[in-house]
Chain A
Amino acid sequence: MNTIVTLLLRRLGISLVTLLLVSAVVFLITNLLPGDPAQEMLGQAATPEVVEALREKLGLNQPAHIRYLNWLGSLLSGSPGVSLANNMPVAELVADRLPRSLMLAGTTTVVAVPFALFVGIVAAMYHGRRADSIISTAVMFVVAVPEFLVATVAVLIFAVELGWLSAVSYAPQDPTLGQFLATYALPVLTLSLVLVGQMARMTRAALIEQLQQPYIEMAVLKGASPARVVLRHALPNAVGPIANAVALSLSYLMGGVVIIEVIFNYPGIASLMVDSVTNRDFPLLQACAMLFCTGYLILVLMADTAAILSNPKLRK
């Protein structure tokens, strides 16, 4: 029991160190962006004195490492500054958007992951036969089509032509089930199509690798049914690679969904970050970047934990 706890703790420690390094990189890069936020806020007409005063007020005149430490401190205390664009606390802006992003991501996960696993497992079971080539071709097709095309076509068909769903996904407070479905159906469908392809392919590959191991032949020769061979023997041994593929795919749901948010006019965190870049709104940009990295690290950590727990050689 001890080995596994130390293993997981060490893994957690590595994640925290990574996060710290990421914070330094995020800070550095945002400071390399061209343009001076004070100048940006006041416009071209501002006098140098006014700009200088604002720089002083924002702490932009301090040396970089001091600014970094101040920022890190404020980040840890949960109040990562005030937006330069509209003077609202960054925490508040994020708190408004984050639940919506998580809702979209969560719904997509619930739809896409089981479906992807199912597709991958079926393809692996029929490896080399017609069902597999049909599934693999379909999956390749879906992966190859860009998401904006899928989204646009979906809007054209379901919202414009058929008029079943709204093209704009803005859920009211406490939606009914019908409202919920109407709001989320199109973005979730589009995102799922993008994710299912990747996850199903990785699931198939990981399972096929296991299915070529001698212990699978042994299970077949014990009289096990194909379903038993795959679900009871191959799948537990493929948890590691599958969990990592799922984590990588899902991490995309945090920051990579800008296009979806724009097309469906969905107020998520990705579009907030894009806005912050155009506005030179450093505190907001940094907070968003840190948020995405944290989400990513949490997913990878979960995947590693699943891999460690599923491997009896590591679990003692």
Chain B
Amino acid sequence: MSDLVQVDKLRVVARAEEGAEITIVKDVSFSIPRGEVLALIGESGSGKTTIALALMGYARRGCHIEGGLIRVGDTDVTALKRKELRSLRGRRVSYVAQSAASGFDPAMKIMDQILETTRIHKTLPRQEAEAKAVDLFRALALPEPESIGSRYPHQVSGGQLQRLMAAMALITDPELVIFDEPTTALDVTTQIDVLRAFKHVVAERGITAVYVSHDLAVVAQMADQVVVLNQGEVRESGRTGQIIKAPTDDYTRQLLAAARPALRSATVELEADVPVLAVEGVSAGYGKIGRDGRPAIPILEDISLAIPRGTTLGVIGESGSGKSTLARAIAGLIPPTAGTLKLAGETLPNDMSQRTRDQFRRVQIVFQNADTALNPSHSVERILARPLAFYHGLQEQGRKQRVRELLDLVRLPATIAEQPCSRLSGGQKQRINLARALAAEPDLILCDEVTSALDTVVATAILDLLTELRRELKVSYMFISHDISTVRAVCDDVLVLYAGRKVEQGGREHFAAPPFHPYTDLLINSVPELEQGWLESAAQSRKLAPVNARGEGLCPFLERCPVRIEGKCSTEPPPWRQLALGNAVLCHHTEADLHGTASLNTARANASY
């Protein structure tokens, strides 16, 4: 048999705090032929990472491999002694961690960390190893392959670090490489390049790999075989094509459905009155405010938007585009340095200290991470009672009553009220987080990446809840996300931010087909499709020559724009262009041009909507 890896009835057990043992991986079996990529897919708690780590004979603190067979080549991994395991790890089986940013030692140069593996296992002398590393950097399409190794991890971008970590895993020519959610922490536009680089080296070197992910669309690009896991058990396994086209298990179907968010419409009867929120020419940033009235680190520049009552505005952009800063500026956490905010027609003071309690009440913010936004030692009731007392002055009895109503509103049982937040699941915490905002009875809720930290199935339920609440309470949302399909699914209008500037705005229906702003186009076409071969057919990002920008207020996307007009984009500020369908873009290109510049596969990419 040419199987490189064979796992049979693997059981991994975790010791809970009370001393009881919980089986977190239950009799999992699979095998991987040489040169193939197997994907372990599932939500958090499915045991996918635990299984992957077990292939290296490693279990995290508090866990141990209790039984079953793990064979890599001719070696029975479970029978190895500590020292033998050390010579397996990094040499024969290597690992690419989820977050390269925390997987690299911050105090050591990258090249030293990559060569450490060759030093530990004495595979190559330093000079040869260094040359090999540079070759790998080239194969992984890293910039400045000769010198990038002499930097420290914090001097390199996230996408580059992830590829450097792959180089670290490949330097010893291992038999098996484990990729543990290697692109989850990256922006889509970065992810596509990293996936392409991975796919290239895997194919070129005939690497056998395990690819751990929660994202079916990514797995469809990378894997030959898929194992679907749920709560430590195998639900279904098979060839990738079969799993995504003809799943036999209900859970797999559920995962597939969650990967394609359905459009939710909840457009309530619009009363033709002033918008709930109007933002005009707002700029904001961090640091000291200089003499010209601009902060030391400007983030947002000249943002204008309006949210009509009962509607949802989606704000989309990459990390660092200023999405969260926009929410914070509106909430008053970072006072805007220019521009005005209007709440239902009345001026909302930029500085938080000048806002009235009622103004506070009417704008609520829900943070991305409910784990850190809620005090883990407070009970649900205490968390919800605070805004009730603060904004509405409710007494004991009224508060209890209202807490029950709020829990009902977010579809949680009333019995949960006594529980401390630390006992709740991620999805429940996010519901409490939302209920806390609802307790104020706001006009506008600023949702900052509220589903990003959740599993797809749980996130889908939260999106449904948001839509229902909107229908019931006529509340308006500003919905911030990095995920265009989520934004398109729940928002009426979409605003695209790039480097703190608005580059496009319009109704969601206009984001299904071109013309788009070139950045929107890149963003939409970087989202992996649930279809094999998408990665190969997706438009390659071209290497762009550096621009010689002259002048103020130029297009923020200039450096990365594949269709920029030399001489024009680098010297003149772009105009706001109203497109026939209703979108507005910040671009020199005319509408006809933008049709032509859109990627070839845009039409196909949107076929599923």
The chain A residues found within 8 Å of chain B, CB to CB, are 128, 213-215, 217-225, 228, 232-233, 236-237, 310-313
- Tell me, yes or no, whether B58 is within 8 Å of chain A by CB: yes
Name the contact of A310 in the complex, choosing from B88, B104, B107, B117 (C-beta under 8 A). B107
Q: Taking CB as reference atom, which chain B residue is nearest A127?
A: B61
Which residues of A sit under 8 angstroms from B53, Cβ to Cβ? 221
Q: In the A-B complex, list the 6 residue pairs whose CB atoms are closest, starting with the nearest.
A: A222-B90, A223-B90, A223-B89, A312-B152, A214-B102, A236-B107
Which residues of B sit under 8 angstroms from A225, Cβ to Cβ? 86, 120
A-contacting residues, B499-521, CB 8 Å: none
The answer to whether A215 touches B90 (Cβ under 8 A) is no
- Tell me, yes or no, whether B27 is within 8 Å of chain A by CB: no
Which residues of A sit under 8 angstroms from B86, Cβ to Cβ? 223-225
Distance A232 CA – B109 CA, assembled complex (angstroms): 12
The answer to whether A222 touches B154 (Cβ under 8 A) is no
The answer to whether B103 touches A215 (Cβ under 8 A) is yes
Q: Taking CB as reference atom, which chain A residue is nearest B62?
A: A128
Which residues of B sit under 8 angstroms from A311, Cβ to Cβ? 106-107
Stretch at the interface among B92-100, B350-358, B383-391: B92-100
The answer to whether B105 touches A222 (Cβ under 8 A) is no
Q: Taking CB as reference atom, which chain B residue is nearest A214?
A: B102
The answer to whether A221 touches B58 (Cβ under 8 A) is yes
Q: Taking CB as reference atom, which chain A residue is nearest B155?
A: A312
- Tell me, yes or no, whether B121 is within 8 Å of chain A by CB: yes
Distance A221 CA – B92 CA, assembled complex (angstroms): 11
Which residues of A sit under 8 angstroms from B87, Cβ to Cβ? 223
The answer to whether B89 touches A215 (Cβ under 8 A) is no
- Tell me, yes or no, whether B187 is within 8 Å of chain A by CB: no
The answer to whether A218 touches B94 (Cβ under 8 A) is no
B interface, size bucket: 20 to 34
The answer to whether B97 touches A222 (Cβ under 8 A) is no
The answer to whether A218 touches B120 (Cβ under 8 A) is no
The answer to whether B105 touches A237 (Cβ under 8 A) is yes
Name the contact of A218 in the complex, choosing from B61, B91, B95, B152 (C-beta under 8 A). B95
Knowing A228-B120, A237-B105, A237-B107 touch, does A220 contact B154 (C-beta < 8 A)?
no
Which residues of B sit under 8 angstroms from A223, Cβ to Cβ? 86-91, 117, 120-121
How many Å from the CB of A128 to the closest CB on chain B? 8
The chain B residues found within 8 Å of chain A, CB to CB, are 53, 56, 58, 60-61, 86-91, 94-95, 97-99, 102-108, 116-117, 120-121, 152, 154, 168
The answer to whether B107 touches A312 (Cβ under 8 A) is yes
Which residues of A sit under 8 angstroms from B61, Cβ to Cβ? 128
Name the contact of B99 in the complex, choosing from A214, A219, A222, A233 (C-beta under 8 A). A214
Name the contact of B106 in the complex, choosing from A221, A232, A237 (C-beta under 8 A). A237
Name the contact of B120 in the complex, choosing from A214, A215, A224 (C-beta under 8 A). A224
Which residues of A sit under 8 angstroms from B98, Cβ to Cβ? 214
Which residues of A sit under 8 angstroms from B103, Cβ to Cβ? 214-215, 217-218
Distance A215 CA – B105 CA, assembled complex (angstroms): 5
Knowing A228-B120, A312-B152, A313-B154 touch, does A221 contact B95 (C-beta < 8 A)?
yes
Which residues of A sit under 8 angstroms from B91, Cβ to Cβ? 223
Distance A311 CA – B117 CA, assembled complex (angstroms): 23
The residue among A215, A225, A236 with the most chain B CB atoms within 10 A of its own CB is: A215
Distance A222 CA – B92 CA, assembled complex (angstroms): 10
Which residues of A sit under 8 angstroms from B117, Cβ to Cβ? 222-223
Knowing A221-B58, A222-B120, A223-B117 touch, does A214 contact B89 (C-beta < 8 A)?
no
Q: Taking CB as reference atom, which chain A residue is nearest B92?
A: A223
Which residues of B sit under 8 angstroms from A218, Cβ to Cβ? 95, 97, 103-105
Q: What are 25 A-B residue pairs whose CB atoms fall within 8 Å in the complex?
A: A128-B61, A214-B102, A215-B102, A217-B103, A218-B103, A220-B58, A221-B53, A221-B89, A221-B90, A221-B95, A222-B89, A222-B94, A222-B95, A222-B120, A223-B86, A223-B88, A223-B90, A223-B121, A225-B86, A228-B120, A236-B105, A236-B107, A236-B108, A311-B106, A313-B106
Distance A222 CA – B87 CA, assembled complex (angstroms): 9
Which residues of B sit under 8 angstroms from A228, Cβ to Cβ? 120
Name the contact of A221 in the complex, choosing from B56, B102, B152 (C-beta under 8 A). B56
Distance A218 CA – B97 CA, assembled complex (angstroms): 7
Which residues of A sit under 8 angstroms from B107, Cβ to Cβ? 236-237, 310-312
The residue among B87, B94, B106, B117 with the most chain A CB atoms within 10 A of its own CB is: B106
